[in-house]
Structure 1
Amino acid sequence: MQHSTPIVPVILSGGSGTRLWPLSTPAMPKQMLALTAQETMLQLTAQRARGDGFAAPIVVANAQHADLVEAQLVAVDAAAQALILEPVGRNTAPAIALAAIAAGGGAAPLLVMPSDHVIADVAAFHAAVDAALPLVVDGWLVTFGIDPHAPETGYGWIKVGDEISGGVHRVASFVEKPPRDAAEAMLAAGDHAWNGGIFLFRADAYLSALAIHDPAMLAACRHAMDAARHEGARIYPDADAFAAAPSDSIDYAVMEKADRVAVVPVSMGWSDLGSWDALHEISDLDKDGNAHATGEGGEVIAIDTANCLVRSDGLRIAMVGVEDLIVVASGTDVLILPRGRSQEVKALIKKMKASAPKI
């Protein structure tokens, strides 16, 4: 993949990944964990946008994770050109604005990627990026629509409009997370894609769109970067200025309002790994449908057990005669729930925080 102007990967690493508790915690969120390979999710994200045609990444992260992020990227030879450390989380639109400013605010194409997604077919991903690039150079804002295989109610959807050029379409509309019947209808119609939260656009095109649709956000981000503290590659935006930025997603702040917005539908083995059920779905399974994984000191013993996900990083877990369970042990915490209900982990954490705020 070679481009006249190198693409700047922008990796968003500010999330806490609470839905994968107890492995994922605020101190060690899921993007810092090795969940699907030897490498961590952050490392895999950096590796899929490295080499010919790509510049060194710009990473936007929680200041608490600065050392972790740097160490993990250096370990896979993907050191960041800039590590922007947010003093407070303000959602994706301001985070991307900080990155666009750090990239110089000019014609550089920015490939914006969450740090905790799975893309199994990297070649298909690169082909989609190549297809989008001519429009991006011309000032379009492009998103990548994930080929849907289920009537998901937990994702936003994109209605795919008329084709502009090879494989690139206008966005007809963005659809909020739909009720089940609407998701089934969109899946059956075949003209919708999941909104995977991956974007490609010029830095100046994004900042110009933000100037039109949320000038207060842009002003706060510019002020925060003008007054930022620099330590090597680390950038610490001014805390007071950044806190004044409205908290909003790129979808709401820009993509749903801008004029020239396109989508590249792509099938690339994508998962947002947003739950333990999602991890089971993409894991290598044994003959009984089980996914086992252990960290240092962990052990799993299973007899007459089927269709379970079991992970331990220190305890021995023994299971007999059960099926369709998720069992995860980390430190002194153990999570047990039926498969299909892992989205309820967030409610569980809320209850635990209310009774003993140490989560």
Structure 2
Amino acid sequence: MNKTRPITPVILSGGSGTRLWPLSRTGRPKQLLSLTNAETMLQLTARRSADSARFTAPIVVANAAHAEMIEEQLEAVSLPASALLLEPVGRNTAPAIALAALCAEPDALLLVMPSDHIITDVGAFRAAVEAAVPVVEDGWLATFGITPTAPETGYGYICRGGEIAPGVHSVERFVEKPDRVTAQAYLDQGCYSWNGGIFLFRADTFLAALEANAPEMVAAVRLSLAKAVRQGARVYPDAQAFAASPSDSVDYAVMEKADRVAVVPVEMGWSDVGSWDALHEIAPRDEADNAHHGEVLSIDTSGCLIRSDGPLVAAVGVKDLIVIATGDAVLILPRGSSQEVKRAVEELKKRSHITLDRAL
């Protein structure tokens, strides 16, 4: 085994991201926004694998509507994609990864990363990737288990089995999002990790597992690439062929069904920034536990996330609120209830409201 064989990053950027409405829109989802840093989440994701001695240029799988923005953002940090695979329609993560696997060399090591996650300890992340390489070269499919910090009910969990290599365990089972009592029991047992949706495997190993469990998916994706239009790094799979693929996540289609699945537990400062509450947790806060961004005035205010990308927001005598102001919309809700944004989004969909689609 060549331990220095390069790893190919596969960045998944197909999400439309309305959980962070009104800042995130279908026209400009959260991975293309600067939420925790001057750089966007896509740019930060690309930087995690920016070492040319270890990683190739990334393959990016994205919504065709975002092609220009993605190219501009990656060029801005001098990390252009080797291939930009542009989905004509969303079919979840399994077909998206199949596109990348079919475009890569058969024995390529693929590091699959969502484009909209935060990892503050990049060193720990890279060490976990290196720990997984030997078993992946031996034909295992590897995932990375996030060390849980609370009995979260919004994540799936991975139960670890025995150690198969230093720092690498077999997967005993994947479990669905639990209720709070079950999640606490998982933490108490100590052998469970959050499922963060980051993977490492050889392209041919993944395709063989997908072929065994979802052959119609592989056939549809393969046909879509055979009929694809190519413009430089851009690849436009055939819309009709790709739409014929079943829509399924990589967890359901492959990882939960394959025989040789490994997990590397890792504590790396991970967050999927899946809600405004999650952003409050990881954002710098003042002595009153307020997180501010933009032009904000707070007086006798505590425990709030207040963000303005437009007008001045003045908060007086309030606590535990989320207030998000853009140029054309304002969201206000209690902290701890940010998943309820979906109720606003659903109502706006019914009204075909422009703020869901307009890119800010």
> TM-score range with shorter-chain normalisation?
over 0.9
1:1-359 pair list within 5 angstroms = 3-51=3-51, 52-104=53-105, 106-294=106-294, 299-358=295-354, 359=356
Give yes or no for contact 1:143–1:197 (8 Å, CA) kept in 2.
yes
Alpha-carbon deviation of 1:187?
Answer: 1.0
Alpha-carbon deviation of 1:188?
Answer: 1.1
Q: Secondary structure at the match of 1:20?
A: coil
Give yes or no for contact 1:289–1:306 (8 Å, CA) kept in 2.
yes
Q: Which amino acid aligns with 1:331?
A: G
Q: Which amino acid aligns with 1:317?
A: V
Give yes or no for contact 1:3–1:53 (8 Å, CA) kept in 2.
no
Alpha-carbon deviation of 1:4?
Answer: 2.5
For residues 67-90 of structure 1, the C-alpha deviation after alignment (integer angstroms, 9 at most, x for no partner) is 000000000011000000000000
List structure 1 segments (4+ residues) > 6 angstroms apart after TM superposition.
none
Q: Which amino acid aligns with 1:100?
A: A
Alpha-carbon deviation of 1:60?
Answer: 0.3
For residues 210-240 of structure 1, the C-alpha deviation after alignment (integer angstroms, 9 at most, x for no partner) is 1100000000010011111000000000101
Alpha-carbon deviation of 1:3?
Answer: 4.4
Taking the aligned partners of 2:293 and 2:277, their CA distance within structure 1 comes to: 14
For residues 28-60 of structure 1, the C-alpha deviation after alignment (integer angstroms, 9 at most, x for no partner) is 100000001110000000000111200000000
Q: Which amino acid aligns with 1:328?
A: I
Alpha-carbon deviation of 1:5?
Answer: 1.6
TM-score normalised by length of structure 2? 0.97
Q: Secondary structure at the match of 1:200?
A: strand
TM-score normalised by length of structure 1? 0.97
Q: Which amino acid aligns with 1:319?
A: A
Q: Secondary structure at the match of 2:19?
A: helix
RMSD: 0.9
For residues 78-106 of structure 1, the C-alpha deviation after alignment (integer angstroms, 9 at most, x for no partner) is 100000000000000000000011113x1
Number of aligned positions between the proteins = 353
Taking the aligned partners of 1:91 and 1:357, their CA distance within structure 2 comes to: 25
For residues 188-210 of structure 1, the C-alpha deviation after alignment (integer angstroms, 9 at most, x for no partner) is 11110000000000000000101
Identity %: 64
Q: Secondary structure at the match of 2:98?
A: helix
- 1:293–1:3: structure 2 CA closer, same or farther, 3 Å change rule? farther
Alpha-carbon deviation of 1:332?
Answer: 1.5
Q: Secondary structure at the match of 1:159?
A: strand
Taking the aligned partners of 1:315 and 1:5, their CA distance within structure 2 comes to: 51
Structure 2 stretches of 5 or more lacking a match? none
